[in-house]
């Protein structure tokens, strides 16, 4: 199945959950352990144009995801960002932040920019690690 939105402008092949207005996806870049994207199903380029229903569902997803990530990794903080610099399609980045290293799947994750802007880099995590991470988040969301 092709996981692109109907507009085709956002490749989203690490889907965790689908909702009426949004889909929750794991970022292939895990510069921050548990970094996820919440992507609007319809094409829109400006978050200020979201409907009341879309906003309500978005924050419900954010709260559920936050609880799941807290149970899994105990982040010290979260960053939430609408950027759109690379992909002109409304999506929110949810980036857990860590004051100390965390371990998952035999790999250590270090937040090298703790206490500063999120600058996660562009390196993609190995597919096996992404698959395990997606499954772990899905399991926590199902609780």
Across the chain, which has 143 residues, the per-10-residue mean pLDDT values are 55 87 95 96 95 98 98 97 85 96 96 86 90 98 95
Q: What is the pLDDT of residue 1?
A: 30
pTM of this prediction? Answer: 0.91
Q: What is the pLDDT of residue 3?
A: 44
Question: Distance between CA atoms of 51 and 66, rounded to whole angstroms?
Answer: 22
Radius of gyration of the chain (CA): 15
User: What's the DSSP call for residue 57?
Assistant: H
Q: What is the pLDDT of residue 15?
A: 95
| Cβ contact 95:120 at 8 Å | yes
């Amino acid at each position: 199945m092709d996981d692109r939105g109907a507009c085709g402008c956002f490749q989203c092949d690490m889907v965790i959950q689908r909702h009426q207005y949004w889909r929750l996806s794991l970022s292939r870049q895990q510069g921050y352990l548990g970094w996820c994207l919440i992507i609007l199903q319809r094409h829109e380029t400006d978050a200020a144009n979201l409907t009341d229903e879309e906003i309500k569902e978005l924050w419900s997803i954010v709260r559920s995801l936050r609880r799941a990530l807290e149970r899994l990794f105990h982040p010290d903080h979260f960053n939430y960002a609408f950027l759109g610099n690379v992909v002109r399609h409304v999506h929110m980045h949810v980036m857990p932040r860590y004051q100390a290293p965390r371990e998952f799947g035999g790999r250590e994750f270090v937040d090298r920019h703790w206490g500063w802007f999120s600058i996660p880099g562009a390196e993609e995590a190995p597919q096996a690690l992404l698959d395990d991470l997606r499954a772990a988040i899905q399991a926590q969301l199902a609780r």
